[in-house]
Amino acid sequence: MPEPLSAAIVGGSGYVGGELLRLLLAHPHVTVLQITSESQTGRPVHTVHPNLRSVTDLKFSQEGSLDAVDILFLALPHGSAAGRMDHFDGLAQRIIDCSADFRLRDAGVYAQWYGHAHPDPDRLPRFVYGLPERHRSELTGATHASGVGCNASATILALGPLADEGLLERVVADIKVGSSEAGSRPSESSHHPERSGVIRSFMPTGHRHQAEVVQTLGTGFDLSFSVTSVGLVRGVLVTAHCFLRAAVTEKDLWALYRNHYGSEPFIRLVNQRRGIHRYPEPRLTTGSNFCDVGFVVDQGSRHRRVVVLAALDNLVKGAAGSAVQSMNLMIGCDEVAGLGFPGLHPL
């Protein structure tokens, strides 16, 4: 592998673009040469991402000025990349699209959830779903990877071991999310007096990330999926009420989750008997690529109801972090490169 590999970020003025740059600036094998923004062209990156002040002297450029690179990250709004992949393929051999454009493999499913036909259905099979815990072997050496939905990622990682063992019969997944999930563009719902301190159910049914969960874990169980905005900036917490086909004990769950995740570098099992941080807490993953997973057996349900919780930073493990982790597999370097930040406490 040549060192360093060159990279560029298209659509770098949003939150995901900023996180990609933050992570890649610390990467031992990648150098970011360009970052684009049509609205911020010519301005230093730190004027939009002030946490990067004195860390980089990059300035935003126009997309039309992009040079060829080894790796191209697309951090564009949903729907912006799919119609222009011929252009992007001409700029890089490896592409990671962080939007929803190539997450779903089936064009019919895409149309069902997004309300219009996919503009480039023939390319869908080329993209590997960019969640390494489920697609590591496919990502290794791949040329194209999709982004992941943050709510989908938390839910998939929470339920994966139970789904793989065929234990799930019915799941009610209640997901709470921070405001940065909606992106950096202001809206009526993100206006501070309307958003601050909320517990607002905005998608009780029909959230698009549900399609990613079904695609990844299959249709062997019934899934209900609800999403609620809460008074956080970053973070996703899924509380999944799982009704099982067979009774389990907490010891069984420890064995199952350790077997599935014991060697995973970014999954932490959190189920402590004491203290205030006994279960996954989104704040403790802030800025990190970790997903914390915990579980509790409902003793009053004859051990056939289990509550599984998963917490992650929606901008990192739910977006930019998984993209960089996928890139590491694609280029053949250490999977954890550039992703060592452990999070903060207190915050």
Tell me: the pLDDT tens digits for 278-301? 999 999 999 999 999 999 999 887
* C-beta separation of 60 from 35 below 8 A: yes
Tell me: the pLDDT tens digits for 241-287? 999 999 999 999 999 999 999 999 999 999 998 999 999 999 999 99
pLDDT band at 347 (very low <50, low <70, confident <90, very high): confident
* C-beta separation of 97 from 127 below 8 A: yes
Mean pLDDT over 167-186 rounds to 95
Distances (CA, A) of 7 to 73, 298, 322, 336: 8, 48, 16, 18
**123 and 154: one domain?**
no
In a domain, residue 343? The reply is no
Q: How far is CA 113 from the centre of its chain?
A: 18
Handedness of CA 224, 230, 236, 239 (dihedral sign): negative
What is the number of structural domains in the chain? 2
The per-residue pLDDT for 1 is 59
| CA dist., res. 218 & res. 206, Å (int) | 17
The per-residue pLDDT for 2 is 55
| Annotated catalytic residue, options 150, 242, 291, 333 | 150
The per-residue pLDDT for 203 is 94
In a domain, residue 321? The reply is no
pLDDT band at 75 (very low <50, low <70, confident <90, very high): very high
Domain enclosing residue 271, as ranges: 150-314
Tell me: the pLDDT tens digits for 177-213? 999 999 998 899 899 999 999 999 999 999 999 999 9
Mean pLDDT over 32-46 rounds to 97
| CATH number of the domain residue 257 falls in | 3.30.360.10
Six-digit token string for 107: 């064009």
Lowest mean pLDDT among 21-30, 88-97, 296-305: 296-305
**113 and 234: one domain?**
no
Residue 242 appears among annotated catalytic residues? no
**293 and 157: one domain?**
yes
Six-digit token string for 142: 């791949």
| CA dist., res. 278 & res. 273, Å (int) | 6
